Amino acid sequence: MDLARALGWLPRETFRTSPRAKPAALHAWHSHDYVAALRHAEETGTVDEATRARHGLGTVSNPIFPEMFRRPATGAGASILAGELLAGGGRIHNPGGGTHHGMPDRASGFCYLNDCVFAILSLKAHGAARVAYVDIDAHHMDGVEHAFAGDPDVLLISTHEEKRWPGTGRLGDRGLGQVFNLPLPRGLNDTEMALARDRVIRPAIEAFQPDAIVLQCGADAVEEDPLSRLSLSNNAHMDVLRALLPLAPRFLLLGGGGYNPWSVGRLWTQGWAVLSGRDVPDRLPPAAEDVLRRLVWRGNSRAKAPPDHWFTSLRDPSRPGPIRAEFTDRVAALGARVASIPGRRAV
């Protein structure tokens, strides 16, 4: 948001402050007991052993912190509001969304509430009969699949690094036939991601004919991320975004994972540029460059000698490469299933 404002891309009339989702709204997906436990953990700053075991709170990957309910409830509130605002069509970016691991009764993978699920539920409640959810985070969207694998009116597509936590999202998983999981080999390059986009992601959505698309655009699949071992440039994410925008009248772009602050800020700001029709400059103006130069990232070796383009440009250098045979086979296997996706029923 600081970058977008520094570039003049976020005038007052295009920004809405997110409401905080109330417990009653959260009960549409999360259990009453879990929401109560999450609120209590925030209020007291602690959890007992029984709560930790049942709800996953107070663990290394779901730590206690002062806004552990309010912050995710704000992200969920934004996704719920987005479904309402998109009733008449349009495009919305919720960078505080994308928490796709949250389960009905427990936190998981830094995701305390699953705003992606609420986005889909809200879109459906406001007239979108068919919703396509695409997730290009480095980690599999296990919580969203748990919610909608049995819903024929929600298409689920996930690209995620193989053998990476949470270990779900196998190539052969099908749901009711509308679940498409593409495990990505280590070192995935831009050329390989383009193949997945053109042979699986876009054809599947074209066949499904959705009323709305939700794109979870996690920034942890880029080369510089410290957790994943994929090798994409942020151009790959933007190319997926551009390919999907014309395919439905309602479009919601979410944030997600990302553990390098420069990669995250540059990628999601560029995503907003695409959504809002802005031209991305080759060289950032001084005010935007200053935002990036003031970022601090301690305790990671990748921050010791950051390349100049982390400060001066939103775009990464492209990272093309060979298409490996094993990946071609996976893409072909999913591509063969696209023809079986049921389109809209005639009325």
Segment 339-346 long-range contacts (CB within 8 Å, at least 24 positions apart): 339/207, 340/177, 341/155, 341/177, 341/178, 341/204, 341/207, 341/208, 342/152, 342/177, 342/208, 343/207, 343/208, 343/209, 344/130, 344/209
pTM for the full predicted model:
0.97
- Residue 204 backbone dihedrals phi, psi, to 5 degrees: -65, -45
The pLDDT tens digits for 117-140 are 999 999 999 999 999 999 999 999
The pLDDT tens digits for 66-76 are 999 999 999 99
Sign of CA dihedral 232, 233, 236, 237: positive
pLDDT on residue 342: 81
Please, what is the angle between helix 115-125 and helix 70-85, to 10°?
30
**Following CA atoms 325, 330, 336, 340 in sequence, which dihedral angle do they give, to the nearest 10 degrees?**
-170
CA-closest candidate to residue 276, choices 3, 6, 11, 2? 11
The pLDDT tens digits for 268-308 are 999 999 999 999 999 999 999 999 999 988 867 666 678 99
Token pair, residue 339, equals: 């023809």
**Catalytic sites, residue numbers:** 101
Q: Is residue 187 a contact partner of residue 138, using CB atoms and an 8 Å limit?
A: no
Distances (CA, A) of 301 to 37, 66, 305, 306: 37, 28, 8, 10
CA-closest candidate to residue 245, choices 134, 335, 144, 125? 134
Q: Is residue 122 a contact partner of residue 140, using CB atoms and an 8 Å limit?
A: no
pLDDT at position 21 over 90: yes
pLDDT on residue 302: 67
pLDDT at position 327 over 50: yes
pLDDT tier, 343 (very low <50, low <70, confident <90, very high otherwise):
confident
The pLDDT tens digits for 5-16 are 999 999 999 999
Query: What average pLDDT does the structure give for the chain?
Result: 96
Mean pLDDT of 178-182: 98
Q: Is residue 147 a contact partner of residue 102, using CB atoms and an 8 Å limit?
A: no
CA-closest candidate to residue 284, choices 264, 261, 305, 266? 266
CA-closest candidate to residue 309, choices 347, 346, 263? 263
pLDDT on residue 347: 45
Q: How far apart are CA 99 and CA 117, in angstroms?
A: 9
pLDDT tier, 170 (very low <50, low <70, confident <90, very high otherwise):
very high
